[in-house]
Structure 1
């Protein structure tokens, strides 16, 4: 896809209204639409959000993110930024203001969360990306983004099983995963 095509797609996406109950994201020039999430998914997002101190951190669910130099506007399940970041207003939150993004894997988002978004968030220089995976009962914390575009990735990866705490050092907390639920009857995958 050429830069003109990607720019055109981003412009089109800015005015795009998905059907009610459908979440839409722009990921590297492609519009991806998903049905509403499972209850297990929503309970995990709520649990993670509740553990992040509100007085120090802004915790936003389903906030559109602007990734610099990318034809991408992902909508993470949770975005965390310092209260002093002062994002202003508008539909898009600049990725450089974000401290942590959280994606809870759904039954249909495994590849997007582990591969596509990993590269997109690293390209946007988001310092930490937490993948919470109720398909296989694990959390993957990615830190230290490097590279650009499709080659961007995180240098550090830490895997924790549900029930173990996840050290979110950038936030100064240990995330308790004891109460995270899992999907039943879903075929496991081999990521990370």
Structure 2
């Protein structure tokens, strides 16, 4: 009798292999690696000044208005959902400080919001891939800031669709308008744009 691994076992093994590859490459190649349903995404460019300054300003503005037990975290670790085979690294994660007291990656359902600043070199990763992945793993709010256009969008209200979970509500904004992320509204003036 032959016992073959199930499709789920193969998928978990493939994901773990990709994860080990990504972790081995993190300090050797520039840019950022993430794992999606389609495989490994490598944003080859390291974040630029406008990207990092946007993340910093968003973090500071959120932390001024949120309760003290919440943080707008811009560091590591990543957000990982092993059953779905997804590992992402949001630019800013709104999360309870208590939920950070773990070893390893954050569970996506502990995030209150994931904030991404669109990469100049790979905008589809933020506008397409993460738009699909974040509701799939249960991140309740996904916010995109796009320094290419000086605009963005807030996605909320995960609902089931034939293609899988998706955000039902999308609120677009332009820089200069206030934006509400979960329960907190912050200004978007003075956010840098790509030249």
Name the TM-score class by shorter chain: 0.7 to 0.9
Greater radius of gyration (CA): 2
Q: Distance between the aligned counterparts of 1:131 and 1:5, measured in 2?
A: 33
Distance, in Å, in 2 between the alignment partners of 1:145 and 1:15 is: 30
Asked if residue 21 in structure 1 is aligned to residue 35 in structure 2, the reply is: no
Is residue 60 of structure 2 the alignment partner of residue 47 of structure 1?
A: no
Report the counterpart of residue 32 of structure 1 in structure 2.
Answer: 41
Structure 2 equivalent of residue 190 of structure 1: none
Following superposition, the deviation at residue 164 of structure 1 comes to 0.6
Deviating 4+ runs (over 4 angstroms): none
- Matched pairs, number: 180
Over 3 Å counting, the alpha-carbon distance change for 1:99 and 1:42 in structure 2 is same
Pick the structure with more helix per residue.
2
Q: Give unmatched runs, 5+ long, in structure 1.
A: 185-192
1:65 partnered with 2:86: no
CA distance in 1, matches of 2:104, 2:96: 18
Q: Deviations over 1:74-112 (max 9, x none)?
A: 11111111234x343222100111100011001122211
TM-score (norm 1): 0.84
| Alpha-carbon offset, residue 173 of structure 1 | 2.3
* Cα distance between partner residues in 1 of 2:193 and 2:14: 36
Residues 29, 72 of structure 1: 8 Å contact kept: no
CA contact (8 A) 2:33 2:40 kept: yes
1:152 aligns with 2:165: yes
Q: Does residue 1:90 correspond to 2:103, yes or no?
A: yes
1:173 lines up with 2:187 in the alignment? no
Query: Aligned partners of 1:148, 1:36: CA distance in 2, in Å?
Result: 35
Question: Given that residues 81 and 98 in structure 1 are in contact (C-alpha distance below 8 angstroms), is that contact kept between their aligned partners in structure 2?
Answer: yes
Tell me the alpha carbon deviations over residues 49-94 of structure 1, each in whole angstroms, 9 at most, x when there is no partner. Answer: 001227231222243111363111011111111234x343222100
Distance 2:134 2:163 in 1: 11
